[in-house]
Structures are given as structure tokens and as C-alpha cells.
Structure 1
Amino acid sequence: MNHISLYQRELLTDHYHPKVFAYYFKRWESYHMSFHSHKEIEIMYVIDGKCMVETMEESVSMKKGDFILLDANVPHRLMVDKNTPCRMLNVEFSFLKKEGSFPSIKDLASENKNLAEFLLHSRSYVVLKDSNEIYYTLKNVVLELDKKESEKDIMIQLQLAQLLIQIARLAAWEKEKKSEHQQADLYVKKTIEYLHHNYDCDIQVKDISQAVNLHPGYLHRIFKKQTGSTIVEYLTSLRMEKAKMLLADTDIPVIEISYYIGINSRPYFSLLFKKYTNMTPNEYRKSVEQNIVKFGR
């Protein structure tokens, strides 16, 4: 029987159907499996608990709702700690020459962009977080496999096709989310650099958004999400730290410090500084001077 892996070109150039060769539910407790591989593709789905799946490349921690899709002939092993049992659903499948009238993987990929792209990007394994649809489809596959009806094959084909499309869609969504996150990181980094270079100027959020070429509202959202602070809060904190440094390390008059950090109102600067340090600028400078005197003695 000629099995082929998930990323062989034949899947997109010839006609194959997926076929399940093994499946099981199992609760693992304090278990360390030896490295092994299958000629079939394997899905290991964590129903409950935690586990570790090791490949030759890395160790992957998994918890409830996580699943790993291992390609054929990929060495791996399961490790479960004694304090955190793990209940899993495993399904092993491969692809055989098409029989019957149900659409082949090639047919499905020609109609589904996510599936076509997923099958083109070879990898040893992929780990994804389920939103429950994968688990329900896996369970339906198993339920059909357990039936003795002669017509069950068409239902299994339907469920397996649905499963592969769902996994491909989930992988595409994760890839897009990662790309968006990386892009957001870049915009936030540029924003922080702009703030550090221009904190001593009278700048507003619209000026920053123009500098990084991003809509102010979107920039505000991703900055808050990435740093935990709004842009204004970050800028204020930066300015207050610069003010502390100037008060401690220079003889610049207190009444002029605000202009060195881009705040054109002395009363407003004093208000912000006291809110930030619980001291007025004068009190802060005196406290620094007293500590220097004490240290000198």
C-alpha cells in the first residue's frame, strides 16, 4: 500500500483521498515515550491536561485545546508529567489513490486557497490552538469510523475533507495574526524611537502617526496593546525621567527644565512631575542634593 505524506506534490497533481488507519482516546499519566515515527500523518489533540511533544527540532508544550499535526515519518515522542495527566485524541491517516466519486484532495485544493497553500509549505509539524471546531470534527470522524454501516465511507470522506480545510484555515489565520503582530512590533518600535528623538519638542499623537505613516487610532490601539501604556502615557513617563536626570545632574534652573523636555507650561510640568514622583521639581532636586551630601560624609 503506497502511503504519501502531507506535502508530497502528488496530492496536488494526482487524485487521492485521505484514509484513517488508527485512532484512539487515551489518558496518559507519568509517561515518557521513546522516539518513534509513523508512515502515517498523526494528529495529537489535547482534550484535557498538559503534555510535551518532542521532535528532533524542539520540545513543544501543549495544553487543553492544543493539537499538533505531525507529517509522516517524523520522529517524535510524548512526555507527560506525573502531576499533570493528559487526555488525548490521536488520529493517524494517510492518502490513497482516489476511489469513488467524492472529490479528491486535488479537487478540494483547487477550490480552497487555504488548503492549497497549506499543502505547498512543507514542514515536519505544525502546532495550533483550536477554537473547538477541530475537536468536534475529529470526534465526528471517530464516531463514523466506529459505525458498522456500509455507507459510512462517504461520511468519513466528508469529515476528513472538512478537517483538512479547517486545519488549513486555522493555519492561515495564525500566519496572518503572526504577520500582523510582527508589523505592529515594527510600528511600535518606530514610535518609541520617534518619541526618544523628539520628546523635547511639542509633539502630538497626530505628528507621531504621520512620522510612522499610520492612522492615529490604529497606532494608539497597537501601542497600548504592545506596551501596556498609551502613547501619551509613555511620552509623559519619558519626559519625567529626563526631567529627573536634568534636576539631578545639571544646574539648569528648575523654571527652565520644562522647556528642555518639550512641555511649554511650567505649572503643568510641576503638576505632572509631582504626580509622577510625589515631589515638586524643587523638592526632588533638594532631595538629590541632600543624598549627595550625606553620601559624601
Structure 2
Amino acid sequence: MIKNFRIVKATTPLSLESEMVHWLTHSHTEYELNLYINVKATIFINETGYFINDNDILFIPANVEHSIYLSNKPKNTQYSRIVINFNNNFIKWMSQVLPIWSYIDTLREKSSYKISLKFEDYLYVSDLFNKILENYQLQNSSDMVINFYYLIKYLANSKNHVNHDSKVYEISRYLDENYKEDITLQKLSELFYLNPSYISRLFRKRTGLTIVQYLQFKRILDAHNAITYKGTDIATACYESGFGVFSTFTESTKD
């Protein structure tokens, strides 16, 4: 067995009745690299939201908090991905023969952890993921390691890190920076010169979330961090995170 490294192709049925499935905020001591096969999700890393669709790739550094909101539309959706976990000991072992540290550092320091690939690039990357998985299962460490090196190098050098020109990206960045304020569709319409109904449809189509859901999730994360790490009392955390009414906060955290 290859130490300090694992890869698995995972499929999770979302059999719940709710349209959104929330996986609580967590972190792990390993790096995580995901190739998403069938998914529509919003993943928050350090409170920044990334909208994930089929064929997207997401790199999550070690010891970084993240939470996942999966769309369950249509109901009973299958959530599928190939996920690689590895730690610094594995990278140290690899670096004895391959110059991988610089590429890991590049991935950690990029302004976005999400990578969206063109179709031809996706074919190459997905082939590498599958080769790594196959060789891992066969315990063929030499081929697995070289393909993993090619993958990390390719992703580190990739220019396809999220489209900063998209309106949804601009709107989400505004929400990330101002979620504690009273934000309405009308206000967003005036800021971005778009029809309120169009903003609502576009945002939900791209992210699987309504504007209200996105704001609630941001506020819940902020309140959770204040309560857990700063010792803030629940009522104060509620108001400081942007929930105008305490009952709205308590109802949101029940979902």
C-alpha cells in the first residue's frame, strides 16, 4: 500500500427530500484534490464560495476549513467525484526524485482554488486521474507517482482558474464582502445594471442556490466561526453576522 496517499472514485446518493444538502464546516490535515463528475454545489473555502459543476476541479489545502452545499435537484441526485488525499510526508517522499514542492506551493498560493478546464484539457486531466486511480488499485507506485506528478504540474501551470469576467462571479464577490448588510435583488439590480428577475434566474442556474440561500449560508458560517473560535454568545453572533431577526438565525441552522 502506498503510504500517505489515497484516491477513490466516490458516488453518494442524495436521497433526502430537501433541495439542498449541507455538509458541515470541517478541515483535515491532508490536501484534497477533487475531479467532479456529477455535481452542482457551492463549496466555501475560508468563507469564499466556489460554484462547482460537472468537470470542475477543486484543490483544498491542508488544515483549511470548508463546507459543502449540494444541490439535490432533481431529487435523488448522484453526487460523483474522484478525490485524491495526500499529506506533506508523501510530498517529501516524492520530492526526493521529482521537483513537486514548487507546484504544490503554486496551487496553495493561487487566488482561486477552483480550476475550470476547456474540453480538450479536461480529457487530458481526467485521463490522468483515472490512470492514478488504476495504478493505485494495482499498487503500481512508480506509474501512479509519475502520473500524479504530471497532474500537479499541469494544474499548477493551468491558466483556467475561474472566469473572473462572469457576472455571477462579480455578484458573488459582492455578496462575500457585504453579506452582513441588508441586500435585496433590487439593490443588486441597481449595482450591476441587470433586471432583478434575470439576476435571480442566472445566479440560481449557475450556483444551484438562490441569493437568499447564499446569504444565509455566508451568515451561518460567520456566526459559527464567531461562536466556535471567538467565544461570542449566540445572540451577538446572530446580529453581527447579518441576521436581523434571531428567529431567522435559529430556523436557518435547523436545516
TM-score by length of 2: 0.50
Matched, 1:160 2:148: yes
Write the mapping of 1:122-161 to structure 2, written as runs, cut at 5 A: 126-130=113-117, 131-132=121-122, 133-148=124-139, 152-161=140-149
Report which structure shows greater RCO (CA 8 Å, sep ≥6). Answer: 2
Matched, 1:93 2:78: no
Give the structure 1 partner of residue 170 of structure 2.
Answer: none
Give the structure 1 partner of residue 57 of structure 2.
Answer: 67
Alpha carbons 2:100, 2:153 under 8 Å: kept: no
Alpha carbons 2:10, 2:80 under 8 Å: kept: yes
Q: 1:98 to 1:82 in 2, by over 3 A?
A: closer
Give the structure 2 partner of residue 40 of structure 1.
Answer: 30
Give the structure 1 partner of residue 228 of structure 2.
Answer: none
Q: For residues 13 and 100 of structure 2, what CA distance do their matches in structure 1 show?
A: 33
- Give the RMSD, CA atoms, in angstroms: 3.2
Q: 1:28 to 1:43 in 2, by over 3 A?
A: farther
Aligned-partner SS, 1:98: helix
Which structure has more helix as a fraction of its residues?
A: 1
Q: For residues 89 and 67 of structure 1, what CA distance do their matches in structure 2 show?
A: 10
Aligned-partner SS, 2:64: coil
Q: For residues 141 and 87 of structure 2, what CA distance do their matches in structure 1 show?
A: 15
> Cα deviations across residues 249-277 of structure 1 (Å, max 9, x unaligned)?
xxxxxxxxxxxxxxxxxxxxxxxxxxxxx
Aligned-partner SS, 2:98: coil
TM-score by length of 1: 0.44
Give the structure 2 partner of residue 27 of structure 1.
Answer: 12
Alpha carbons 1:102, 1:154 under 8 Å: kept: no
Alpha carbons 2:38, 2:80 under 8 Å: kept: yes
Q: 1:119 to 1:56 in 2, by over 3 A?
A: closer
Write the mapping of 1:196-215 to structure 2, written as runs, cut at 5 A: none
Aligned-partner SS, 1:33: strand
Alpha carbons 1:48, 1:63 under 8 Å: kept: yes
Aligned-residue offset at 1:99:
6.7
Matched to 1:71, the amino acid is P
